[in-house]
Structure 1
Amino acid sequence: MTAASIPAASGDGYAGYLHDKTVVPERGDYYLGRDGLPAESPGRWLDEADALARVGLAPGAVAPDDLRALMAGHRPGQPSEFLRTAGPDGTRAAGIDVTFSAPKSVSVAWAMSAPAQRAEIEQAHHAAVQRAVSHLGETVELTARWDPDAGASVPARAAHLHAAEFMHTTARGVGDAAPDPQLHSHVVITSVERDDGRVAAVRSRPVMRAAREGGAMYRAQLAHELRQLGYGVEPAGEDGRYFRLAGVQPEVEQAFSKRTAEVQQAARAFRAEHGRAPERGELRALAVRTRAAKAPQSRPELDASWRATAAENGLVRDQAVELRAAGRPAALPVGDSAAAVVRPATLPVAGVWAAAVEREATASRAVFTDSELRTVALEQAAGHGLDPDVALAGAHRLVEDGRVLELADGRMTTAAVREAEQTISDELAAMAADPARVIGADAREAGIAAVERRIGAELSAEQRHAIDTVTAPGRAAVLIGPAGTGKGVVIDAAAHAEQAAGREVYGVAVAGRTAQRLGESAPSLNGRVKTIDGFINAVERGRLPLDGRTTVYVDEAGMGDTDRLHRLTELVSERGGSLVAIGDGRQLSAIGAGGMFDRIAADLPSAELRKVHRANDPAERDAWEALRNGDAREALRFYEQRGAVQLADTREQAIEGAAQAYDRLATEHGSTNVALMSDASNVEIDHLNLRVQALRRQRDELGRDQVEHPDGHPLHSGDRVIWTRPMPVKEGARVENGQRGEIVGLDGDGIAVRLDGGDRTVTLAADRLDAVRLGYATHVVREQGATVRQSVVVTGGWQTSRETAYVEATRATDGVQWHIGRDDLDGEHDTGRLDQLADRMALSRAQEPSLSVELHDPLRLPDDPRDAFRVERFQPPAPDLAPTVRRELEIER
């Protein structure tokens, strides 16, 4: 599900867009009729008859003028009678376009089916859209009501939605190209009816925030409807959030998306060369150049084209594939023809589905909302064979059974995550209180002396205190190291001291490249660093010793997710080892459920480094501190005064400005000394990388020979690349995720890369090129822990936060440039836009452990001293579940 607001000024045109007949010059078609002639794309109203009647409508097909009237805010046929009031600017928003799109395998099945089966698939799609829209109305506060107690309007659910559905069966054709089959519906929500009977505008932001849940309900219901028709359904996607029809193999899906991919690739190459996206006419020209054959001009020709594409990819059965038969997919020449149908409504809550829900609910954070629980339950329902109603009831059952716990602030966590957090906290506290680790004063001084000789300077009193703390007798300690404070020398001295005392030391981190950086900044650990997963595996297999004379240094522990820290803590604790956690809770958090670093830092012996050594300008150090503390306005004033804030009219122009700035700085200082970062998506990273590559190619800095990357762009000698996953090497250590290097040669269809930081060169065969991507630009997450001379940053969007801004600002010794698009920020003037940017840079998105919130207690009394000891599992009853609610209270007095 996707959602987009329709501005008031666009309402009339958008209604026409949905209703108009296919235009012959755009052959191919988006709205082509089944008989091959230009045809209407009729819509239908989704609300109940009595609700429609109250605004002057009848159920059934949507008349264009009626839709235009509701979008304009007045009663159909009576333009002077407005149904809803105007906004502060005197206009009435036209509504919201919510689009539901079927999985590609479903669209392929539709395209290859006979008319009767097409109609059945379309009806299944209609039913899923209807259910998703109803769910949206039931769960999202789409309007507002006056609350006399609060003296203000408060969000509220709507009694009815005024919505029209327009179903289309093909993707939009590009230029003269044939469209791919793509079953989807546009649902235009023009307004809502409140509980008091009044008509009001739709609150757009809640709809957009509910897009994931709405899409999950649509897919769950669609999968259920298709199973009822006899189709086999199986999970799809790495996390099982999606589904595909059994019997339609991925290569067939890709074949029916190939045309779109070709045009997208051509557009991407255009953008790399010109620094902007192609305009409509230019995109049409690109489409013509990439076209392989004459486009079909009628529905019969389009059907024939689809059958030919399917045949080229092995999907053939008398030119019309029947994917369902007796409750299982038909025998097909492609893939496994005997894939079993997933039967609905029979999977027990305690089974695979429930485990998947628990896992995915905490895949990104330790705490989640009831909406997120419903979303994950529905997402896992589609591929696991559950009716959406059964999935929603199962989600309530997980709470009732204590596998999902309610927190006092209304959010939730899982019992597994809560237990893991508690284990980390308890084990480390016990280790800290155990004086088994003994490092004498002589060993400590020997470690300090070794580091002072290496750096040619004396350590500060602050650094000496930190060394004393992390080498104290307890078996657990914490070093808090803000950006640029020189934690490497502290760790190096502490590890030297451990070794001088006859102990073993290892350094670990979540990411391999982070572990490597630890070894580089603390040479006493060099060659003794691993990822957390690699270290655990090596110890459990007996390849590394871990006992009472071993200390493990965990770098960037704030980025450690709860599961990894739990496994590592238990392993070190049970083997009698010691653990030193190093990090900074003000920098980026774990990708998965996390947030434990600040908690253990508060409970364990800890030292914090404060003096910044990285920034050469003392005033910039103050700006870093301001960003770290959430005073982004003060920091932005500094960067504005230095001319380091570059505002462009659009995000696209900001990307171009950043690419140009990086290119100039990299030419002057060398690519390894300049960082180019974004806090947005991988798509933006790709745009930046391809643009910098094009600028270098235009200056003949890259080799003329090239190999094609699996993503469709070339790689040349001289290009910089970065590994996106670990890569084993036959002779020598593996190349870690995040390692960078320069292509120094092309070897047949492969490449040879000289790794940064040494003379080592590795080769990648053509079938392994997907292990790397262009490495000029990276996401900010990859740069945490890096030090360069200068940085260039694209930021300002919704992803911007206190943590990303702080990490972006603090990578460089000699300053950072901020590139921001005005269209990412609200306001008529730059002053207001920068105020909003400061607000975003001050907003913390740090991970939070569930332990920071008490468990919910429905029997809580004010000031009851027993509250802190109550452990409770409670959930209000869901529809169709047992009427009684189980409450299991364990009260320790």
Structure 2
Amino acid sequence: MATHASATSCVRFTGLPLWWCPVLSLAKAAKDYYLRKLGEISPGEDYYLRGGTATGMWRGNGATELGLSGTVSAESLVRLFDGQHPGTGEHLGRSLRKDGVAAWDVTFSADKSVSLLWALGDPETRQQVLEAFEEATSEALAYFESVASSTRGASKTPVLDDHGDPILNENGTPRFRVESWPIATTGYVAASFTEFTSRADDPQLHTHVVVANKVKGNDGVWRTVDGRLLYRYQLAAGYLHEAVLRRELTERLGVHWQPVSNGMADIAGFTRPQIEAFSRRRHQLETWRQEQGLPDTAAARQIAVIATRNPKRDRPLAELEAEWRQRAVEVDLTPGQIARLIGRGRDVTPADPEALFESLASMDGLTAHGSTFAKPEVVKEIAGALPEGGTRNQIEALAGMFLGTRDVVPLLSGRDAEPSDIVEDHALDEPKTLNEPLAADRVVRPMRRRDGSLFPGVRHERLYTTTELLATESRVVEQARAGIGAGRWTAPGRLVEGRLRRNRHLTEGQREMVRQFATSGNAIDIGIGPAGTGKTAVMAVISQLAAMTGTEIMGTALAGRTAAGLQDATGIPATTLTRLIGESKDRGLPPRVVLVVDEAAMVGTRQLAAVSDLVEAVEGKLILIGDDRQLPEIDAGGLFRALVNRLPAIELTDNVRQHQAWERDALTQLRDGTVDKAMKLYQQRRRLVIGQDRDDTMGHAVQDWYRHVTATGDLTSGLLIGYDNDTVDELNQRARTHIAASRHLDGPTVETAERVFQAGDRILCRKNQSRLGVLNGDLATVTNVDQESKNLTVRLDRDAETRDLPGWYLELGHVDYGYALTGHKAQGVTTSRTFTVITGNTDREWVYVAMSRGRHANTLYLASPEPADEQCTHLTHQERKEALDALTVSLGRSSVQTAAIDHLPGSGPASSDIAERAAWIVARRQAEHSELEHRSPGIELAAGR
């Protein structure tokens, strides 16, 4: 959970929760701005060194190497930001660029209940809390330093053809092969500053650790920190910090804990009203937002932060303590009650490693949302699974023990599973020296968090999977390989050709796909259908052929709306995967059935395996239709892609949706990863808009959308698309305001769940309700409002029939505005024009889906990161270019998942014995543990303090 600042003259950062070890990059050029304005203090007054904070202290092995210890002076801090020796002023390696990152601010913050125990406890309790917090911070920082303090060396060599001549890019510049490698260092040069209050003068223990962007490599050369590692390990460090803090307070004060949630736990005994009484800043922001009529979104909260920001007044601690104790009495937090929260220090209850490891290796554990994992994820999950916490050594020891169990299979690194990168070098006009790290996009493989957002991966990081998931993947691959030409359902050739003659509108690619599916006899056939290529038309013909041969055909998809769309367009009876699997577990599928899985690339490995097993049990045929270049799986995935690489899959190539040839070309380039060419086309056609700021960008998108739907007189002809729910909420509010001011809406209104609906409104149904005839994701237009019952009558887009939505469905929040959708909700939607708002951190698959929804036009609106202060609200020409460059870099990365079997040693698309190899690895792994009963030592035996 990071806070990232761009290296420009205005520090920008995304708003993320403060209580996890946020990482803020400090631009060298923005150093003075940040020190002066982060706390709204007067010019010349240093944020880190002003009164009211604990004395700054040197930290890190790198600081020790330089002979730094004790307190930090203002002069030494300035030198630290300038890349100089804090004591002598000597430059440490090459000078930092003016717009470069000068330092990293890593912040460790205590949970509010811990801060309250410190603020309201007796002197001994307060001292114990401070010492516990200091120990947790030291341990977490030591972990950070051990895993995230390396730097990188880099080199590039020209790419030569077979004759030894340089290969040139289209612009005539040489093409280079860029390589980099990690270099170990002596550690961080860092300074820490502990503060005790929030901006609202509430108790809030937190420590800023300013890590200089200079480290000394083991080769003696000073270079910049590989900052991607800080972001890579910050979640693990944050969870570890909280676990150590829980253990320290348990042993020192005997406190008890509420259940751990997302790595954090409140001290048992504090009530939510008591905690809220000391969270006035949050209340202040919420009150201001509501008074201004702003939606509850991240952007609105950021506006509230800026608008209500007051200087930290550095009031005397004694004055604040008196105020806190008075406020505590008002919420029944008396000294006696505080005393009852603590007791005699006690030993932490040891963890049960067997139960812990079983949970981590289960389907709901580390591979619930990804086919592979690395050690940081293990550290994070273990730290969050210990109710009373543990030490860093214990947690890391448990992580190592888990990775050595029979249920875990070591794999190749993420990078080793892919070919070397060849880059068309636009930025590297000069050879990279060892003193300058390679740009992040040149060396990193993107990885995905559990919430779906991206973080940079680490080259050559060892990956792991579980024996259960590897066995599941290999079983399906073996079923597919063994099922080639297995004599499953086919239709006579003459019948197939006759159907094709009757469907003259089909492209040649669609015809070939029909022939493949209907005549191959394969147990599993795969069709790749890029956006707009008409895969539904293919399945309509397959449906006809199945009926003509007396074969039962069924369809399924992840989403009910997708299944309904398949059924409506092809006549194939379809339902959701969850329902199909649940209903077929006992009774099975019809004999020799043909089962079509739509949007199969979005289906997780375990669900895809369950479907494959069901079809195999009745000797049926499984047809997988999807595109692994569109939105990836939410659950552990990569299996569809693995099958594509190993089976004779057939791909549609003719885009029949987009009317403009240039737009079809741009989408192809975007899908294939030729991002710079695609962006150039969108720019040339004025389909890429870069706003002055986020508000300006969203305003442009909504204005353009409104002009379009007003000109056509049809609200269904245009669709706004946003990257996340907050953006979509704002777009919907803005769009609805425009529509309400026009003549598109009429009649009575009904207000429910913070929404006002009227005849003419566009709505989105958010919950499947079969008896109402609506599905999650259904778009509709309100045709009538019953104010008395609060019922809506709506006309669905997918079948033009009307449905009655009762008041209780609205009251439960199952109806939202439908003027704007997220990319995931928009997948499968086709309209005339789309207007898509994104940030520079959007991944390629998402943008490809969003920009392929409109038949006539699709426009991209690029929003810059939210500024940190009202004094920096407009982008310069250079900053616009940087925003576009950042987008191009982001789109150059893929977020698709890779199956675990694609990380096995020697695996690859051409491997025909992959299932046997995977089975052998699993068997060998388990055999290593079969001679002795596998019993892990208890946590206290695994590692000492």
Same topology, TM > 0.5: yes
2:542 to 472, 494, 497: 494
Where do residues 479-490 of structure 1 align in structure 2 (5 Å cutoff)?
Answer: 479-490=527-538
After the TM superposition, which of the residue ranges 13-22 and 406-415 deviates more from structure 2? 13-22
1:678 to 715, 722, 745: 722
- Whether 1:232 aligns to 2:256 is yes
> Partner residue of 2:231?
208
1:806 to 848, 851, 861: 848
- Whether 1:741 aligns to 2:780 is yes
Where do residues 778-857 of structure 1 align in structure 2 (5 Å cutoff)?
Answer: 778-801=821-844, 803-821=845-863, 828=878, 834=884, 837-855=887-905
- Is contact 2:841–2:886 with CA below 8 Å preserved after alignment? no
- Whether 1:503 aligns to 2:568 is no
| AA matched with 2:794 | R
| AA matched with 2:198 | A
Secondary structure of the corresponding residue to residue 435 of structure 1: coil
1:692 to 728, 735, 738: 735
2:366 to 344, 347, 361: 361
- Whether 1:400 aligns to 2:422 is no
> Take 1:278 and 1:436, find their aligned partners in 2: how far apart are those partners?
57
Secondary structure of the corresponding residue to residue 405 of structure 1: strand
> Partner residue of 1:4?
24
1:642 to 685, 695, 704: 685
| AA matched with 1:612 | N
- Whether 1:466 aligns to 2:513 is yes
Change (3 A) 1:840 1:429: same
1:123 to 111, 131, 139: 131
Q: Deviations over 1:778-813 (max 9, x none)?
A: 221222222111111123512232x22321221111
- Whether 1:160 aligns to 2:184 is no
Greater relative contact order (Cα 8 A, min sep 6): structure 1 or 2?
A: 2
Q: Deviations over 1:470-491 (max 9, x none)?
A: 2333332222212111111211
> Partner residue of 2:794?
754
Superposition deviation, residue 208 in structure 1: 2.9
> Take 2:116 and 2:220, find their aligned partners in 1: how far apart are those partners?
43
Secondary structure of the corresponding residue to residue 364 of structure 1: coil
2:385 to 361, 368, 381: 381
* TM-score calculated relative to the size of structure 2: 0.74
List runs of 5+ in structure 2 lacking aligned partners. 1-20, 158-176, 311-317, 417-461, 867-874, 908-915, 929-935, 940-945
> Partner residue of 2:436?
none
Change (3 A) 1:256 1:787: farther
Secondary structure of the corresponding residue to residue 100 of structure 1: strand
> Take 1:120 and 1:206, find their aligned partners in 2: how far apart are those partners?
32
Superposition deviation, residue 182 in structure 1: 3.4
1:300 to 322, 328, 337: 322
Change (3 A) 1:127 1:715: farther
> Partner residue of 1:429?
481
Superposition deviation, residue 846 in structure 1: 1.7
Superposition deviation, residue 443 in structure 1: 6.5
| AA matched with 1:396 | G
- Is contact 1:560–1:590 with CA below 8 Å preserved after alignment? yes
Change (3 A) 1:192 1:344: farther
Q: Deviations over 1:292-335 (max 9, x none)?
A: xxxx9843223433553x45xxx78856474344689xxxxxxx
Superposition deviation, residue 6 in structure 1: 2.1
- Is contact 2:371–2:898 with CA below 8 Å preserved after alignment? yes
> Take 2:211 and 2:101, find their aligned partners in 1: how far apart are those partners?
11
- Is contact 1:22–1:39 with CA below 8 Å preserved after alignment? no
Secondary structure of the corresponding residue to residue 353 of structure 2: coil
> Take 1:822 and 1:235, find their aligned partners in 2: how far apart are those partners?
38
| AA matched with 2:577 | I
Where do residues 603-618 of structure 1 align in structure 2 (5 Å cutoff)?
Answer: 603-604=646-647, 606-618=649-661
Superposition deviation, residue 747 in structure 1: 5.6
> Partner residue of 1:98?
106
Superposition deviation, residue 508 in structure 1: 0.9
Change (3 A) 1:376 1:797: farther
Q: Deviations over 1:184-236 (max 9, x none)?
A: 22211235552467766544343233322221221222232233232333544
List runs of 5+ in structure 1 lacking aligned partners. 24-29, 32-37, 174-178, 289-295, 329-341, 858-865, 883-893
Q: Deviations over 1:402-443 (max 9, x none)?
A: 322222334222222211111111223344443243544577
Superposition deviation, residue 698 in structure 1: 4.5
Count how many residue pairs are aligned between Structure 1 and Structure 2.
Answer: 806
> Take 1:810 and 1:364, find their aligned partners in 2: how far apart are those partners?
26
| AA matched with 2:526 | V
Secondary structure of the corresponding residue to residue 97 of structure 1: strand
2:95 to 73, 87, 90: 87
Change (3 A) 1:748 1:217: farther
Change (3 A) 1:416 1:153: closer
Superposition deviation, residue 581 in structure 1: 0.6
> Partner residue of 2:568?
520
Change (3 A) 1:649 1:231: same
> Take 1:279 and 1:548, find their aligned partners in 2: how far apart are those partners?
56
Superposition deviation, residue 562 in structure 1: 0.7
| AA matched with 1:508 | T
> Take 1:469 and 1:153, find their aligned partners in 2: how far apart are those partners?
44
Q: Deviations over 1:481-506 (max 9, x none)?
A: 12111111211221232233333322
> Partner residue of 1:186?
208
Instruction: Kindly report the root-mean-square deviation, in angstroms, between the aligned alpha carbons of the 2 structures.
Output: 4.5
Where do residues 315-326 of structure 1 align in structure 2 (5 Å cutoff)?
Answer: 320=338, 322-325=340-343
> Partner residue of 2:443?
none
Q: Deviations over 1:337-393 (max 9, x none)?
A: xxxxx9543312454664368744333331233334433333x33448554433322
| AA matched with 1:43 | T
- Is contact 2:63–2:189 with CA below 8 Å preserved after alignment? yes
- Is contact 1:235–1:241 with CA below 8 Å preserved after alignment? no
Change (3 A) 1:422 1:263: same
Secondary structure of the corresponding residue to residue 735 of structure 2: helix
Secondary structure of the corresponding residue to residue 812 of structure 2: helix
> Take 2:810 and 2:271, find their aligned partners in 1: how far apart are those partners?
21
- Is contact 2:149–2:215 with CA below 8 Å preserved after alignment? no
- Is contact 2:840–2:884 with CA below 8 Å preserved after alignment? no
| AA matched with 2:523 | R
Q: Deviations over 1:253-304 (max 9, x none)?
A: 566557525624744885969999789998787799xxxxxxx984322343
> Take 2:337 and 2:491, find their aligned partners in 1: how far apart are those partners?
78
Superposition deviation, residue 556 in structure 1: 0.4
| AA matched with 2:567 | G
Q: Deviations over 1:582-618 (max 9, x none)?
A: 1112222112221222332344454322222111223
- Whether 1:415 aligns to 2:467 is yes
| AA matched with 1:70 | L
- Is contact 1:674–1:791 with CA below 8 Å preserved after alignment? yes
Secondary structure of the corresponding residue to residue 598 of structure 1: helix
> Take 1:740 and 1:266, find their aligned partners in 2: how far apart are those partners?
33
Q: Deviations over 1:46-89 (max 9, x none)?
A: 537x9656646442x544444344334455576xx325245354
1:476 to 500, 524, 544: 524
Secondary structure of the corresponding residue to residue 548 of structure 1: coil
Superposition deviation, residue 164 in structure 1: 2.6
After the TM superposition, which of the residue ranges 742-751 and 506-515 deviates more from structure 2? 742-751
Superposition deviation, residue 548 in structure 1: 1.3
Superposition deviation, residue 849 in structure 1: 1.0
After the TM superposition, which of the residue ranges 492-501 and 279-288 deviates more from structure 2? 279-288
* TM-score calculated relative to the size of structure 1: 0.78
